[in-house]
Amino acid sequence: MPAASRSPLGGDDVPTAAVGFHTTHWTVLIAAQQERTSDGEALAKLCSSYWHPVYAFIRRTGASPHEAEDLTQEFFYRILQRDWLADVHPAGGKFRSYVLVCVKNFLSNERDKVMAQRRGGGRNPLPLERQDAETRYLFEPPDPLTPEVVFERRWVYQMLERTLEALRQEYARTNRLDWFEDLQGFLPGGREVASRPELAQKRGVSANAIDVAIHRLRQRFGVLLRAMVAETVASEQEVDDEIRHLMSVLSG
């Protein structure tokens, strides 16, 4: 394990080495396919991480909020039942693309059916908060974006949110959560609630110490984001291309 360096904020920094390229979303799917996960906990956690993009995609195809919730539940129910894992291959490519193809195929089949029972056929495998999903969906720009673009944007937002939460937990574990709350506005997309001089005065440190703290926060955010992206591709060589693509989705 890399040696921890001393932080200008006090306490030890979390080592900045990236998470090893061992467990990815593909290995979770393959383990489920081969029935090596008896309780399906890892698969359920994986599904719950990405239901917002799926919900947004289904909504943009014309489904009402209730229909989109039902279809999203049914979609993940099929995956949790391992119905669609037969074709999962170790060299699966981008997990993002795999999910999008799966949900497209699912909709083309389901649109011609009448569900025997509403609310996802009585099956609610994931604790979806419909109001939260609809609120997030309504934040999308009013332009006539394609369902695919909405899916990818929501995918990026979900990735950034997960990275931010992981970073928050790291700071909490090292008793620096108050620092995180003060500095998170300096991360990409954040809103600065106080200037650097104001934070220096509040914390009783030099302006240079604040600059160093912001630099380390941003650096760690980048490391964690890269690790998150690495979980969604089949090889480490694809990580940079996927990050560039996701950033282009945001800028586009």
* 174-216 confidence digits (pLDDT tens): 999 999 999 999 997 777 778 999 999 999 999 999 999 999 9
Given a contact cutoff of 8 angstroms between Cβ atoms, the answer to whether 31 and 42 are in contact is yes
> In this structure, is residue 139 part of a structural domain?
yes
Q: Give the pLDDT confidence score for residue 188 in this predicted structure.
A: 79
**What is the per-residue pLDDT across 124-165, written as a single tens digit (0 to 9) for each?**
555 555 556 666 666 665 556 789 999 999 999 889 999 999
Q: What's the pLDDT at 193?
A: 78
Count of domains forming the chain:
1
Evaluate whether residue 75 is within a structural domain.
yes
Ramachandran bin of 100, using left for φ above 0, alpha for ψ from -120 to 50, beta for the remaining angles: alpha
Q: Tokens at residue 65, please?
A: 């909020």
- Give the confidence band of 15 by pLDDT, cuts at 50, 70, 90: very low
pLDDT per residue as tens digits for the range 17-75: 333 334 578 777 777 766 655 456 777 777 788 888 999 999 999 888 888 888 988 88
How big is the CA angle at 12 (ends 221 and 211), to the nearest 5 degrees? 55
Contact present, 113 and 106 (Cβ < 8 Å)? no
**What is the rounded (10 degree) CA torsion for 55, 60, 66, 72?**
-30
> Residues 228, 24: contact at Cβ < 8 Å?
no
What's the chain look like in SS3?
CCCCCECCCCCECCCCCCCCCCCCHHHHHHHHHCCCCCCCHHHHHHHHHCHHHHHHHHHHCCCCHHHHHHHHHHHHHHHHCCCCCCCCCCCCCCHHHHHHHHHHHHHHHHCCCCCCCHHHHCCCCCCCCHHHHHHHHHCCCCCCCCHHHHHHHHHHHHHHHHHHHHHHHHHHHCCCHHHHHHHHHHCCCCCCCCCHHHHHHHHCCCHHHHHHHHHHHHHHHHHHHHHHHHCCCCCHHHHHHHHHHHHHHHHC
Structural domain includes residue 3: no
Query: Token digits for 61?
Result: 């195809």
pTM of the model: 0.73
| CA–CA distances in Å: residue 11 to residues 80, 176, 181, 183, 207 | 42, 8, 17, 16, 19
Q: Is residue 44 part of a domain?
A: yes
Domain assignment present for 233 = yes
Asked if the structure places residue 204 within a domain, the reply is yes
Q: Which domain holds residue 91?
A: 25-251
The CA radius of gyration of the chain, in Å to the nearest whole number, is 21
Q: Model confidence over 68-120: pLDDT tens digits?
A: 888 988 888 887 776 667 667 666 678 888 889 888 988 988 765 644 444 44
Residue 14 lies in a domain: no
Answer whether residue 151 is part of any domain. yes
Which residue do the tokens 């289904």 mark?
A: 58
